[in-house]
A and B are shown apart, each in its own frame.
Chain A
Amino acid sequence: MEALFFNVDSGYLEGVVRGYKGGILTQSHYANLTQCETIEDFRMQLGSTDYGNFLANESLPISTSTIADKATQILVEQFHYMRSNAVEPLSKFLDYMTYAYMIDNVVLLITGTLHERDTHELLERCHPLGIFDTMPALCVATNVEELYQSVLVETPLAPYFRECLSASDLDDLNIEIIRNTLYKAYLEDFHRFCMSLGGPTADNMSRLLEFEADRRTINITINSFNTELTKEQRAKLFPAIGRLYPEGNNALAKADDIDQVRQVCDNVPEYRPFFDSAGSARSRPNGSSLVVEDDGDALAVASALEDRFFAMEVHLNKLAFLQQFQYGVFYSYIKLKEHEIRSLTWIAECIAQDARERIQDFIPIF
């Protein structure tokens, strides 16, 4: 059915986003990029891709952060183009996508203020997709109540924030709790919204969002080992969606070490390999060496896990493009492009610091 009417409102934008997707760098581009000797070569190499001469007017030398900024700027422009051409419900969908960045920005600002960083510097570091009008005022807040009353009450994040009001002080732990509570509420809300859209959008987005939720659940569990976070508090932070929910989440809430996490993940066939090779193998399948010192060393496992999560995310996002007439492509495009920018920055960084042996440690998309 969606094929009948989808194109009336969103056909153009889907075409646009698929065209954008065609511009995502491929394996052969990366092969060329990793051979670059200097950042100038890097710029020249990017000149033949869809990035074009986005760095042409930068005077030498170019820093890697400039590259990341400029690339993000292109992404943001594309996003704004799509957002301003979108109609309901796609526009709402795109708005939902920005909430995640808003949460990140809010947390960044609060943390920064807490550690007495310069406000302007903080504002510059905020992700441009998550900027909202009253954001600068975040830095005056000293407790959660004030934060909510003075700033967040009029942002879309307000409903997510009510959960956090119980926390009174702003300290590092509480901020982390706030972030995760916000994210939980956000993911659940976004999931609900996508379900209400129905059709292939719901299918694709539930797959993506459930993975995101599981990833957060596992990360929270692993990161909360040996911290003062109680198990009840931990359980409250888990999003109530995902393939691990509810049994897996319950088990994770009680987990004490990484082995228990692995047991939980074994129940989901797709997640099984995350831990299998993370625990036993000493190198990643694509040949880069990421040495895991000790099987019980949670930190090393976690960092290997992170890479695997990224690879999985890229894979899932690629799958979203196989189906037409659904909004998942917009979400996936932005996610993939972020990966690309991350990879580009990594390569540029490796070139700049002359760390050739690590240059292959990025996740190629196509």
Chain B
Amino acid sequence: MGHDGYPSLFRSEQMSLVQFFIPTEVAHDTVSELGELGDVQFKDLNPDVNPFQRSFVAEIRRVDEMSRRVRFFATQIEKEKDKIPVRPLYDSVPLVTVGPRVAQTIDELEVKLADHEHRLIQMNESYQTMSERTRELVEARHVLRETAVFFDRAQGHESEIRASLDDSSQPLLAHDDREAQFSSGAISFDLEFVAGTIDRTRLSTFERILWRVLRGNLYMNHTDIAEPFVDPVTQGETRKNVFIIFAHGEVLLAKIRKVAESMGATLYPIDPNAERRHEALKDVQGRLEDLQTVLYNTGATRREELVRIGESLSSWQDLVRKEKIIYETLNYFNYDARRKTLIAEGWCPTRDIIPIQLALRHATEESGTSVPPILQEIRTNKKPPTFHRTNKFTEGYQTIIDSYGIATYQEVNPGLFTVITFPFLFAVMFGDIGHGFIIFVAAILMILAERKMAKSDLGEIIGTFFYGRYIILLMGVFSMFTGLMYNDIFSKSLHIWRSGWDFSDPQHGTPNGHVYPFGLDPAWHGADNALVFTNSYKMKMSIIIGVIHMTFAICLQVPNHLHFKRPFNIYAEFIPQILFLQSIFGYLVVCIILKWTTDWSKAPTQPPGLLNMLIYMFLSPGYVKAEERLFAGQSILQILLLLVALVCVPWMLCVKPYMAWKEMKAHEGDGYGRLGLGDDVNGELIAEEEGEGQLVAEQMEDQEEHHDFGEVVIHQVIHTIEFCLGCISNTASYLRLWALSLAHAQLSEVLWSMTLESFLSPSGVFGFIALIIMGIVWFTLTVFILCVMEGLSAFLHALRLHWVEANGKHYEAGGYAFQPLTFANLDENA
């Protein structure tokens, strides 16, 4: 790559560490321009400085305050019951964010925001006090009404009350007084009471406490208020009850009042006189009406204000977010000695230096000054970030690899090959023309509606599918191909060419000399030994595909070793590894193909079991039973291959550590020794225990990478064991291709036979209705179980084969991603 000047996925982009010298007056515009370009990752040049001691803290704080205001508006608009239109960003008048007028724009905006906030808060407050007042009046009205009902009822029972009063053991004289009072015709009775409203959830507690405090000396009545009260600020609903409590004596009443107050109840003075109550009710009604008109007007003005804010809210949000990012970036910069220029460092793709320079010039022009920022490339031994230039097609595939690990800088990127191998391995497990076609159509639909869907918020699940639409597309195409190979369409088979078998005798097929030109002969479908045949075929195919895939993965080491100038590793790692794999499993693949191509009906021996052959190659080397021999000289070849494999193990194990050791000796011979660093280990451990691991890690990072001989040995031992055992287990792991493919085929067959098959020859109207219903059921289940569920499972297994079996063979994944300063996806992180 790199030489021809076109970006490629094979290796990550070549990066340069660049230094910018930016005059202070264009700094803001430069960063803004670079943010629009989205191609530079700035380094923090003052990591030791506290966030609040940096140069642009004041600006950030100002922006924070502005964003708090904008957030306040947004929540206010959201809370409003009738939806207030917020003009989308692309429709709004853009605010000037660069040029000499930017400071003024921001000043103006700040004043405007403060203004709006002030007005809104004021309106909210008055709205709130007024709704509070309204609520009280409404409650008072309820209390009046409900108590009126109660009093009316009580009046009906007045005689009984009097009787009960008579019964009580009151002094006789007082009794006379009372008697006189009542008989004088006054209808008021002198039971004292407290009335008010209380939160419904607290009612039972309230009642219980009162009962306990007054030792049962009370009579309480309460009714629900039907409509809920809405808090104007939080929009929360509370439900309340009206209560009226009768008790006797000032002390008790005082207690009731105190309890009621501390329980958050509101008390209302109610007159026992019916006429006065009526007057009070009328009065309350009147005041309520007045208040409601005022309230309505306030609400309307507030709404108007919010609508006006909604007009430009999204452009404010955008501006505030951008400004915040700009100043945060500016905080990464260093001042030069005279504080006239800012110095910035950052990574950018080498090929993009020219566009960046253009952007810098553009920024200078915009800001109207004549001093341009200067860009200078600097040499460094620091590890650059990894940047793969993807497009909408390759993005999904690259993400599959990136989620395993970010490639080391300039390492061979498996993402490129994943574009084909991933859908292919998926399709091997998902081989069915019909199912493949369904997901292909789904992907095509998503791609056609791409623009529209990209804009709308799809939610997590649909969004994920949409993100992988090009993966799904290729998965569908490849599934149709493997479906043709397996000759499988919704568990049925296609008769395209003439079959190679005749069934003159329904029990036995006889070959008729034809060869089915492509894929599986449809005659196998429905045959008794169909499963035996396809199993054997798919199992062997899985092994072949697996060995090829792994061989390819090992081979990808070579360009890495060549690129990173360590050709020695080719001899010490690549060659023994490839020999080891080929001498065992390569041989197995050759045997499989040999077995397939031999016409066993004419051969003198029975077809040998390849599994046993491989096992006995290790258990009894050099001995192959005559009746199981595949070809002449097999035993000699097997001994030879076994020896090669055995030699490879110590080769892998020893050569690299030995070379490292020799190199170290040479160094020591030159007089370089190691410096001891054992002293602070204890201190560090303690510090780590105390939760300061972060600091320690940072210190460690600064140290030059230390080549320890013991480390090399241990690493190599682990690597060797892992590779040798991995070869066996990984090959076996590819059998999942067969297993999933089998499961898929069986499942679709079961679905077919259990739903649609028995309804296929309908008789009469009901037969047709049943056919239609069953057809729908079958199709739904096909889509959801076979395409979505099975598809996800096949996807998962294809993912694993790439991550573990293939990537493990060559992919170092020790890099870190390139995260340029960009305004592109502000919404997501804000």
B50 within 8 A of A: yes
Q: Are A151 and B52 in contact, CB atoms less than 8 angstroms apart?
A: no
Could you tell me the distance in whole angstroms from the C-beta of B347 to the nearest C-beta in chain A? 24
The residues of A that contact B57 with a CB separation of less than 8 Å are 44
In the bound complex, do residue A139 and residue B61 qualify as a contact, i.e. CB atoms below 8 Å apart?
A: no
A140 to B695, CA, bound (A): 56
Q: Apart from A44-B52, A140-B255, what are 8 other A-B pairs with CB-CB below 8 Å?
A: A27-B692, A28-B692, A36-B52, A40-B61, A44-B51, A45-B51, A136-B263, A139-B262
Closest to B204 in A: A133
Q: Which of B273-311 contact A (CB under 8 A)?
A: none
Q: CB distance B690 to A27 under 8 Å?
A: yes
| Docked pose: A295 CA to B57 CA in angstroms | 49
Q: How far is the CA of A136 from the CA of B65 in the complex (A)?
A: 39
* Contacts of A43-96 to chain B: CB distance below 8 A: 44-45, 48, 56-57, 59-60
Q: Residue-by-residue, is B198-219 near A (CB-CB < 8 Å gives 1, otherwise 0)?
A: 0000100100110011000000
B38-78 to A contact mask, C-beta < 8 Å, 1/0: 00000000000011100001000100110010011000000
In the complex formed, the residue of B with least CB distance to A153 is B212
Contact call A35/B691, Cβ cutoff below 8 A: no
**Residue-by-residue, is A119-153 near B (CB-CB < 8 Å gives 1, otherwise 0)?**
11001000000000110110110000010011101
Secondary structure at the A interface, as helix, strand, loop or mixed, is: helix
Q: Which of A24, A35, A123, A139 contacts B258 (CB 8 A)?
A: A139
Contact B262 A123 (CB under 8 A): yes
What residues of B have a CB within 8 angstroms of the CB of A12 in the complex? Answer: none
Question: Is there a chain B Cβ closer than 8 Å to A310's Cβ?
Answer: no
Once the chains bind, are A26 and B71 in contact (CB under 8 Å)? no
CA distance A24 to B691 in the complex (A): 9
Contact present for A119 and B50 (CB under 8 Å) = no
- Judge whether B259 is part of the interface by a CB distance below 8 angstroms: yes
A102 to chain B, nearest CB (A): 16
What is the interface of chain A, defined by CB distance below 8 A to chain B? Answer: 22, 24, 26-28, 32, 35-37, 40-41, 44-45, 48, 56-57, 59-60, 119-120, 123, 133-134, 136-137, 139-140, 146, 149-151, 153-154, 366
Min CB–CB distance B60 → chain A (angstroms): 8
B559 to chain A, nearest CB (A): 42
**B668 proximal to A (CB < 8 A):** no
Asked if residues B208 and A56 are in contact (CB atoms below 8 Å), the reply is: no
Residues of chain B touching chain A, judged by Cβ–Cβ distance below 8 Å, are: 50-52, 57, 61, 64-65, 68, 71-72, 202, 205, 208-209, 212-213, 255, 258-259, 261-264, 690-692, 695
Q: Knowing A59-B68, A137-B213, A150-B213 touch, does A45 contact B52 (C-beta < 8 A)?
A: yes
Is there an interface contact between B262 and A119, defined as CB atoms closer than 8 Å?
yes
Q: Which residue of A lies closest to B121 (CB)?
A: A59
> Do the beta carbons of A134 and B205 come within 8 Å of each other?
yes
Q: Say yes or no: A151 contacts B209, CB within 8 Å.
A: yes
Instruction: List 25 A-B residue pairs with CB atoms under 8 Å apart, sorted by A's residue number.
Output: A26-B690, A26-B692, A27-B690, A27-B692, A28-B692, A32-B50, A36-B52, A44-B52, A45-B52, A48-B51, A119-B261, A120-B262, A133-B202, A134-B209, A136-B262, A136-B264, A137-B209, A137-B262, A139-B258, A140-B262, A149-B212, A150-B209, A150-B213, A151-B209, A366-B691
Q: Which of A35, A120, A149 contacts B50 (CB 8 A)?
A: A35
**Complex contacts, A32 vs chain B, CB 8 Å:** 50
Once the chains are docked, how many angstroms separate the CA of A139 from the CA of B255? 10
The smallest C-beta distance from B89 to any residue of chain A, in angstroms, reads: 23
- Asked if residues A26 and B255 are in contact (CB atoms below 8 Å), the reply is no
Tally inter-chain residue pairs, CB-CB below 8 A.
68
When C-beta atoms are compared, the residue in chain A nearest to B75 turns out to be: A57
Chain B hits for A140, CB < 8 A: 213, 255, 258-259, 262
Cβ A41 vs Cβ B52 within 8 A? yes
CB-CB nearest in chain B for A366: B691
CB distance from B392 to the nearest CB of A (A): 35
Chain A contacts of B51 at CB under 8 A?
44-45, 48
CB-CB < 8 A to A136: which residues of B? 259, 262-264
A133 to B199, CA, bound (A): 13
A57–B76 alpha-carbon span in the complex (Å): 13
Cβ contact of A150, chosen from B65, B212, B263, cutoff 8 A: B212
| Nearest B residue (CB) for A25 | B691
Q: How far is the CA of A120 from the CA of B266 in the complex (A)?
A: 13
Q: How far is the CB of B259 from chain A (nearest CB, A)?
A: 5
B50: nearest chain-A partner, CB-CB: A32
* Alpha-carbon separation in the docked complex, A342 to B392 (Å): 53
**A239 to B209 alpha-carbon distance, docked (Å):** 32
A120: chain B residues within 8 A (beta carbon): 262
Write out the residue numbers on chain A whose beta carbons fall within 8 Å of the beta carbon of B255.
140
A74 to B9, CA, bound (A): 47
A133 to B212, CA, bound (A): 14
Complex-state Cα separation, A146 to B215, whole angstroms: 10
Measured in the bound complex, the distance between the Cα atoms of B581 and A110 in whole Å is 83
Q: Which residues of B contact A139 (CB under 8 A)?
A: 258, 262
CB neighbours of A28 from chain B (8 A): 692, 695
Among A60, A134, A139, A149, chain B packs the most CB atoms within 10 A around the CB of A134
Candidate in A24, A37, A40, A137 with the most chain B CB atoms within 10 angstroms:
A137
Cβ distance A105 to chain B, nearest Cβ, rounded Å: 13
A123 to B264: give the CA distance in the assembly, Å.
11
Complex: A173 Cα to B57 Cα, angstroms: 53
Q: Is the CB of B690 within 8 A of A366?
A: yes
With a cutoff of 8 Å between Cβ atoms, the chain A residues found around residue B692 in the complex are 26-28, 366
Q: What distance in Å separates the Cβ of B468 from its nearest Cβ neighbour in chain A?
A: 32
In Å, the complex CA distance between A366 and B687 comes to 9
**Could you tell me the distance in whole angstroms from the C-beta of B244 to the nearest C-beta in chain A?**
19
Tell whether, in the assembled complex, residue B205 and residue A133 are in contact, meaning their CB atoms are under 8 Å apart.
Answer: yes
Residue of B nearest to A154 (CB): B208
Residues on A with beta carbons closer than 8 Å to the beta carbon of B262: 119-120, 123, 136-137, 139-140
Q: How far is the CA of A151 from the CA of B255 in the complex (A)?
A: 14
Residue of A nearest to B214 (CB): A150
Across the interface, which residues of B come within 8 angstroms of A44, CB to CB? Answer: 51-52, 57, 61
Which residues of the other chain, B, contact A22 by a CB distance below 8 angstroms? Answer: 691
Shortest distance in angstroms between A310's beta carbon and chain B's nearest beta carbon?
A: 18
- Ranked 5 nearest A-B pairs via Cβ: A136-B262, A41-B52, A137-B209, A366-B691, A150-B213
In the bound complex, how far is the Cα of B208 from the Cα of A151, in angstroms? 10
Q: How far is the CA of A151 from the CA of B212 in the complex (A)?
A: 8
Least Cβ–Cβ distance between B53 and chain A, in angstroms: 8
Q: How far is the CA of A109 from the CA of B499 in the complex (A)?
A: 94
Contacts of B212 in A (CB 8 A): 149-151, 153
Point out the residues of chain B lying under 8 angstroms from A37, CB to CB: 52
| Chain B contacts for A119, CB-based, 8 A | 258, 261-262
